[in-house]
Structure 1
Amino acid sequence: MSQLSFLDKLLDGVEVEWLPLGEFGQFIRGGGLQKKDFVESGYPAIHYGQIYTKYGLEAKETFTFVSSELATKLKKAKKNDLLLATTSENDEDVVKPLAWLGDSVAISGDMMIFRHEQNVKYLTYCIKTTEFQSSKKKYITGAKVKRVSKDNLTKILVPIPCPNNPEKSLAIQAEIVRILDTFTELTTELTTELTTELNARKQQYNYYREQLLSREHHSSVQCTLGDALDMRAGKHIKANNINKFEKNEFIYPCYGGNGLRGFVSDYSHDGSYVAIGRQGALCGNIKRANGKFYATEHAVICSAKNGVNIDWVFHMLTYMNLNQYKSKSAQPGLAVSKIAKLPITIPPVAEQTRIAAILDKFDALTNSIIEGLPREIELRQKQYEYYRDLLLSFPKPSDEAA
């Protein structure tokens, strides 16, 4: 059955109206609750930050409580209210919804109660659609802290089936929620299975890497990283010269202290190298850098000397966890002179090549977003979002006119 015929059957001839949130519900601003107010037991309470960190898209119980005395002074949500976190550090999370299905609950500031007569889970699914997220963007204010005001929230449109017939409307909403709940459950189950498989493969990869890289060959040579590698810092580049456009024939990847930073129109290196981040909390991260690329002064670029396989070097440096050697300062860093003195055991080049080939296969299966399970997990999530949006993509009046 096609999506169109399914919706036609579901709607049974009724029209869907795109209505501003403020037209069919009331926004109530929270306030007066801070994290320091939480107690071991008492009145159920939700802090806006928990909507991002503790909850999914629905809940009927809280993780935290406040005293009964404080609760009398706080705004409270009731069953079927929609809770919205109206402050965030990024555009994607601001106005994250939580369908409240439990009894009375106290709420903090930087969140809103939306009180209405619709199916709260239906509204939650509507808010997560691409359509709503796109509409929301024009109302976001702030630089470091992103906000959407109460007045602007009232303007955002959502599709409501036959709003003049509440009983029929709720029945249609409930059926859409049932379908999406089932799809959500199946997607979550599959994602959990894939994640479990991914973790198992990571453990398997780490086990074999340990076995392959810690075993000494009878012809192994003891030396330092400086003996095996030529290590040099990259070149300075202005931050505004590093762009986020995609790579093409004349655009080259740029590596910095935390790995790939973006792309640039010039290159500083051409060949097979390993890049070590040497500044910031993630210093010591290891990246392969092949072909033409640019390396900033916050990256150490390593080339292999005679008798050393650069792919083996990548796996060995990753295994060594260079982050443990960072300076203990406000801005952690790795000194090239320090890591150059680290001891290393180098097997014959043929053995290096064999080890690198085995670990490359594990690495592709475990970590590659294209070949491995992470890509599969991402595709399942995108598939879910596609069908959710499709199920809620009712035509607007302007679409019909066109």
Structure 2
Amino acid sequence: MIDELVPSGVAFRALGDIAITVAGLSGKSKSDFSEGSARYVSYKNAFANLSVDQFAEDFVKVRDGEKQNRLQRGDVIITGSSESLDEVGMSSVVATEPVGPLYLNSFCFAVRFADPSLLLPEFSKYLFRSDAVRTQIRRTASGVTRINVSKPRFMKVRVPLPPLEVQLEIARVLDEFTQREVKLEAELAAELNARHRQYDYYRNQLLTADIASARIARIDELFDLRAGKFIAASAIVASPDDEHPIPCFGGGGLRGYVATPNQSGDRVLIGRQGALCGNVKRTSGEFYATEHSVVVTPKPGVDVSWAFHTLMSMNLNQYASRSAQPGLAVATLNQLQTAAPPLNEQVRVGKILDRLDSLVNDLSIRLPAEAIARRKQYEYYRDKLLTFKEAMT
């Protein structure tokens, strides 16, 4: 089709020549996100979906006559910041015209094309996540504590504008690939979910079996919770090497590796910032905890294995703030309560659950292997389909 329709190559244009940026919500307080009835696209929604989930249960208060930008079909939403350069500037497209007013969180911005027919949303949802465009997007980002996209630099990103017939055919092929990938991952997820349900069932049974001898205690009575410390993103590498052997944990878990630790020992970590806040991890030895994670140190008389499984069972994400960028305050965590049995019972339960958790984690590693291989295959062909010879001007 390309040989027939554009034998000399495809035209490329800088985004700034064909589009404008549209800002997200402004002037909103925390309470506006707990009392509203207008739908908005959250950071998590934009990060996780090729096409915006317009029916996600995210609401904000927008008063009559208030001037806020509304999203429309074809808008490409860009996540403006992240902890990681690899994850900054992720895209999601408004694939269909919103059925009602739809707003955008303040940590993202949208790209709106002057001529909506230049790039079809069915095509742009794949284009902006292709390697060719993602490589350019990463070059527009910089920062220390957070990696932030520079809008002026972002609008210099150059994108191909193939004929609409080509866009539709590529979108059709990639939609089929995506559906196959989703089906396979759903089958594997169902198997893994069954194992997780088994673990959750036995965990809850074991954690409540000796409830009569347990005492109700606040989190700050059982653990010492302290946020980690800032480290520049430039000091973190993706894979360990001789100079960076220390694992570094942020709000979403493992961020990469650094040169020196700021923590050591057998510890539990709680993510406190970002879409994955409330996630619970366990690590031992030397490690680095950033300011977006909380280091949990059991107090005397508290077993660390029991602590890990107990905090896992508490679904801490439910206590996150309902703002555009979800967060968990240490003060909020400290006030939560749980039932704490005697130490000998904690040790017994912790050992059993460690074994169950190990079995589930082993399955979690083995089952997705095929899905990962398929995803790599899909990404390879996606990037092939979305790589064009540029027309000489």
| Pair in the same fold by TM > 0.5 | yes
Question: What is the aligned partner in structure 2 of residue 85 from structure 1?
Answer: 77
Partner residue in 2 for 1:307:
none
Letter aligned with residue 140 of structure 2 = Y
Aligned equivalents of 1:77 and 1:257: distance in 2? 31
- Alpha carbons of structure 1 residues 239 and 211: separation in structure 2 relative to 1, 3 Å: same
Q: 1:189 to 1:214 in 2, by over 3 A?
A: same
Is 1:20 the counterpart of 2:13? The answer is yes
**Equivalent residues in 2 for 1:291-330 (5 A)?**
293=286, 298=295, 300=297, 315-321=305-311, 330=331
AA matched with 1:194: L
Deviation at 1:213, TM superposition (A): 7.4
Change (3 A) 1:141 1:20: farther
CA distance in 1, matches of 2:40, 2:261: 48
Give the equivalent residue in structure 1 for 2:91. Answer: 96
Is contact 1:19-1:160 (8 Å) kept? Answer: yes
Find 2:383's aligned residue among 383, 386, 389: 389
- Counterparts of 1:393 and 1:293 in 2: how far apart (Å)? 43
Report the secondary structure of 2:387's partner residue. coil
Matched AA of 2:343: I
Q: Which residue is 1:114 aligned to?
A: 113
CA displacement, residues 297-328 of structure 1 (integer Å, 9 cap, x when unaligned): 9564899xxxxxxxxx765443343997x9x9
Q: Please give the alpha-carbon distance, in whole angstroms, between the structure 2 residues aligned to 1:208 and 1:67.
A: 45
C-alpha separation between the residues in 1 aligned to 2:229 and 2:242? 22
Larger Rg: 1
8 Å Cα contact 1:141-1:147 kept in structure 2: yes
- Deviation string, structure 1 residues 18-53 (Cα, Å, up to 9, x no partner): 41145874437478988769986xxxx875647945
What code does the residue aligned with 1:345 have?
Answer: N
Shift of 1:130: 1.6
1:24–1:16: structure 2 CA closer, same or farther, 3 Å change rule? Answer: farther
Structure 1 SS opposite 2:343: strand
Encode CA deviations 1:149-182: one digit per residue, 9 max, x unaligned: 3x65553222233xxxxxxx22222111110111
Shift in alpha-carbon separation, 1:319–1:114, aligned structure 2, 3 A:
same
Count of aligned pairs between the two proteins: 339
| Percent identity over paired residues | 18
Identify which range, 276-285 or 124-133, moves more after superposition: 276-285
Q: Which amino acid aligns with 1:184?
A: T
> For the structure 1 residues 74 and 354, does the alpha-carbon distance in structure 2 shift closer, same or farther, using more than 3 Å as the test?
closer
Which residue identity lines up with residue 361 of structure 2 in the other structure? D
Indicate conservation of the 8 Å contact 1:77/1:104, yes or no. no
Question: In the superposition, relative to structure 1, how do residues 46 and 57 fare at CA in structure 2: closer, same or farther (>3 Å)?
Answer: farther
Letter in 1 for 2:113: F
Residues 1:21 and 1:46: Cα distance change in structure 2 (over 3 Å): farther
Question: What SS class does the counterpart of residue 17 from structure 1 fall into?
Answer: coil
Q: Give the TM-score normalised by structure 1.
A: 0.58
Contact 2:14–2:158 (CA under 8 A) maintained in structure 1: yes
Equivalent in the alignment of 2:139: 138
CA distance, structure 2, for counterparts of residue 252 and residue 319 of structure 1: 27
- Shift, 1:68, TM fit: 12
Give the distance between the partners of 1:93 and 1:195, measured in 2 at CA. 26
* CA 1:208–1:32: 2 relative to 1, 3 Å: closer
Higher relative contact order (CA 8 A, sep 6+): 2
**How much has 1:122 moved relative to structure 2?**
1.7
Answer yes or no: is the 8 Å Cα contact 1:264–1:294 preserved in 2.
no
- Residue in 1 aligned with 2:344? 345
Alignment correspondent of 1:253: 246
- Separation in 1 of the partners of 2:367 and 2:114? 44
1:129 and 2:121 equivalent? no
Distance 1:329 1:83, change over 3 A: closer
Aligned-residue offset at 1:10:
5.8
TM-score by length of 2: 0.59
- Note if contact 1:59-1:102 (Cα within 8 Å) is conserved in structure 2: no
Where 2:128 maps in the other structure, the secondary structure is helix
The 1:386/1:361 distance shift into structure 2, 3 A limit, reads: same
Aligned match of 1:371 = 366
1:158 aligns with 2:159: yes
Match of residue 227 from structure 1: none
1:295 and 1:22 map into 2 onto residues whose CA distance is 39
Unaligned runs of 5+ in 1: 1-8, 162-168, 217-221, 225-231, 304-312
> Can you list the C-alpha shifts for 1:256-275, whole angstroms capped at 9, x where unaligned?
89876744458997xxx732
Contact 1:223 1:344 in 2 (8 A): no
Q: How does 1:179-198 map to 2 (within 5 A)?
A: 179-198=173-192
Contact 1:276/1:284, CA 8 A, preserved across alignment:
no
Identify if the C-alpha distance between structure 1 residues 47 and 380 changes in structure 2 by more than 3 Å, giving closer, same or farther.
same
Deviations 1:122-165 (A, max 9, x none): 2332112121122123334777584553x65553222233xxxx
Task: Assess if the C-alpha contact under 8 Å between 1:274 and 1:288 holds in 2.
Answer: yes
Give matches, 1:68-79, under 5 Å. 70=65
Q: Residue in 1 aligned with 2:266?
A: 274
- Cα deviation digits, residues 203-242 of structure 1 (max 9, x gap): 11223445677779xxxxx999xxxxxxx99xxx986599
Matched residues in 2 for 1:56 and 1:267: separation? 35
Q: Secondary structure at the match of 1:102?
A: coil
- Cα 1:379/1:212, change in 2 over 3 Å: farther
Contact conserved, 2:188 with 2:367, CA < 8 A, in 1? no
Q: Aligned in 2, Cα 1:66/1:360: closer, same or farther, shift over 3 Å?
A: closer
The answer as to whether partners of 1:85 and 1:112 remain within 8 angstroms in 2 is yes
